[in-house]
A and B are shown apart, each in its own frame.
Chain A
Amino acid sequence: MSATGTCEYQPKDYKSDLKPIWCPGCGDFSVVQGIYRALAAIGRPPHEIAFVSGIGCSSRIPGYTTAYGFNSVHGRALPIAQGIKMANPDLTVLAAGGDGDGFSIGGGHIAHLIRRNMDITYIVMDNQIYGLTKGQLSPTSQKGRVTCTSRYGSMEEPVNPLLYVLAYGAGFVAQASPTDLAGMAATIEEAIRYPGFAFVNVQSPCVTYGEEAQQIKGLKSISESLASMGHNPADRLAAMDLAQQYGQKMHLGVFYRNPEPPPTYGDLVKERQALLSKDAQPKERILDLFIKK
């Protein structure tokens, strides 16, 4: 309890009793710590937070977090998160998953969440591989990548998650990495605080199937803080320009934050409800709306 009588939360308050079964050394251990720290900084009690995921190694993360959680269906974290937010707009809603979950099977959902601008934070743990199913090509795997499903090297260009969400008009786009836990916690916190859809791409190495260059040491060698570069996060075009370096450089921090966030879908729904409520029929007369007068 703080001096003002409000409850203060520590990162450990968001840690669940389940023990993570990720491979030791996995980047996701740092990501979950970053999430605990961000949630503690936000200070909402666990019962006011809903955390939804799809399927994959990283999608186990709601189980390791003390909050309402749903480890849902492959690629369907975002529709479920949207349903939760609509049903209970007061909840802080987070969605998480891997790059395969988000940009392959679930790729079609992101555009619609962005255009609706629902107040949901989406954290993608991007390891450029399908780890849980033992190392197949994922949508963000580099061209030429040799895996068990691409023995002679991938012939496809990778999806660029940052450019993808920027192009659809996401209001908050950032990137983080376990190479900088403090920065990751701060970035996730900022994403949660943004009033609208927020996207955080976390480059989280897969120690079992990931390539050497994508491990912590390799990522550190290509990382650069956007703040130290003097990047203006209000400049969407500059953000898109920097996002094109995905795969060659790892820029950390906020790429884009809309300086004038538009109303969220929830705001518009409330507005519409207020507008229509004056002519609203009582429940027992609702069918009268369909009777021609």
Chain B
Amino acid sequence: MTTETGIGASVRRKEDKRFIIGKGRYLDDITKPGQTYGYFVRSPHAHAKINNFDATEALNAPGVVAVLTGPDLEADGIGPIICGWGITSKDGTPHKAPAHPALAIGHVRYVGHQVALVVGETLQEAKNAAELVEIDYEELPHVVEVGDALAEGAPQIHADVPGNLSFDWELGDKAAAEQAISNAHHVTRMDLRNNRVIPNAMEPRAALSEYDMGTDEITLYTTSQNPHVHRLVLSAFNGVAPEHKLRVIAPDVGGGFGSKIFIYSEETVCAWATKKLNRPIKWTAERSEAFLSDAHGRDHETHAEMAFDSYGKILGLKVSTKANVGCYLSTFASAVPTYLYGTLLNGQYTMPAIYVEVQAGFTNTAPVDAYRGAGRPEATYVVERMIEIGAREMGIDPGEIRKRNFIAPDAYPYETPVIMTYDSGNYALAMDKAQEAIEYQGFEARKAESAQRGKLRGIGYSSFIEACGIAPSAAVGSLGAGVGLWESAQVRFNPTGSVTVFTGSHSHGQGHETTFAQIISDQLGVPIDQVEISHGDTGKVPFGMGTYGSRSLAVGGSAIVKAVDKIVEKSKKIAAHTLEASVEDIEHAHGVFSVAGTDKKMTMAEIAFSAYVPHNYPADVEPGMDETAFYDPLNFTFPAGTHIAEVEIDPETGTTEILDWVAVDDFGNVINPMIVEGQVHGGLAQGIGQALLENCVYDKESGQLLTGSYMDYCMPRADDLPTFRVQTINTPCTTNPLGVKGCGEAGAIAAPAALMNAITNALGKEIDMPATPEKVWRAAQDL
């Protein structure tokens, strides 16, 4: 039964009312009595030694409460910022993660590096005093690009990391891949650059910390995608407070895209300093601080070789990547270019042999970590550019070569050579639908029409796959994760029949308050306006792992289903007692419990009331209707699909116009099609942004961030984007109870390859991202 508010309905987002009327409660909207303001003194240099630090004058400035430094943190036993995923190098040694104090001690290693916290009665006073802090820096040689950092003779960033190499990791069968390449009919060889991007969530990172001397409890409000992970790390590793004395609240959060997963210096310092000063402290990043110090994304230099037989069947793939991890290893930085990247290099294809090696290098730049897609866009970019170029070199149609290589719909579960087991998919169906939607047969005529107007038209494919719903604890644990990746849910009926669901997932734009409520409404027949979704407060919700990797519905939603199952099981006992039937005879559908073969029934609301007012109640059942479940998935989910982009280039100026974009995605079952479409649109905007507009540039000479504001860092605007034509196909995931796969990252994963394939198809030659007008013009003019 599909209802207007059940599974499959495009219910309007419940949360939007408060956002639209300006009643959203973001971090900077929260104020505490006696609040002070924190301002961070940051390094103006890419690499320098701190010879002297003098805050005397700053401390005497009006309104200054404190100036706190790295040595102060160290003296209080506050541990360094950690990386939570251990990677083992080829030689069996663990990755090198140099100590990362939350405030610099002795050295600064990138422009924007946090050196001191100035706390003032007002923000203005804190900023005024920050200018009076005198720091004697001795500049040291720096390096900003990973290729340079890993080269012989590069400046050394950390004394204990020779050659700036954090790890040299591999996956797959090297000998088999090399054998495939040496025996191949054709080998495509390419150097590919996956450009560095800056996440740019609309709400900048922020923290507000408060200490209660009476209870000895610290409350930290922070812009987090995973408040319990923040609490765990701040407690267990940084030693800010014991877990039961630390409450982390992530209120309305305005976008994350990965950048708010991580435990950063700023909130760590604020959480510690509030107790030290016994004053609430608020810090809100300015946009320029966000550019400088949010964890950036991507930044790979890759050489790839793909081997084909004469029919265009892929025989093997060998990939060598240098990944820039910035100056320190951020929370999940080590997992992104390894297990979230190498494991997806199989794409949608049968590839008998794959080998990937990744060298992760430190540079004098901001840390690099997960950004929408995290590793999977990089993998898709390699696979989908290589197969497209291979098709061109071999004279095979790019759609046809993919069809020749697709894993067949009856081949599941399908084990890849890079340790993934795909549960389900129908890749040819998505391709067929995409080709039909874009009218692929008519492309040559459209290209000829463009040529008559002096324009270059191109078409490009991306048949992407991703692993999301991150994911089974045992699996990620065996690969080095320091945490489990299950999710929690608590479904609490109130006596009058309304429901509060507490979820360990965290919504920072995804629409959980609607999608999760639809699950409850559908399965328990509760009107959707009587379902409240509560998240983001460690003081309210059970321990949960948060939202990233398109996991909220597949993992968090499944936890809700498990809790609902417990509610149903208990309700059946109550209904059986009340209706004087046996439990086995009670049938349940959408919140109505009936005795099989009779017209005797009870509604969920009646049962909930009975559970709280148990006057006539089964002896062996506890009162109350409040069930908690934890769900650990059996596998990742594997959303996949085909996107086709069609572009037109003006060769005189190098401008690329995206004329059409078709996306056919297999997300398994869909709860709310409207929200899914919105997620795809957002992902596409970011993926297109990366391929066409966005580029993080550090100046090699000075180490300064040249793209430190919207004057130079080009965020996509609405008029940069075409009207997207989005469809889904629905091959249910076989490993979770909802059959859902996850949709949050698909657009960002698929888009760059589709767009670059279209642009290079139009140009007839290869260029790297981003396809800026000048780069395209040079290619079009043969310069």
- Interaction A to B: no
Residues of B within 8 A of A (CB): none
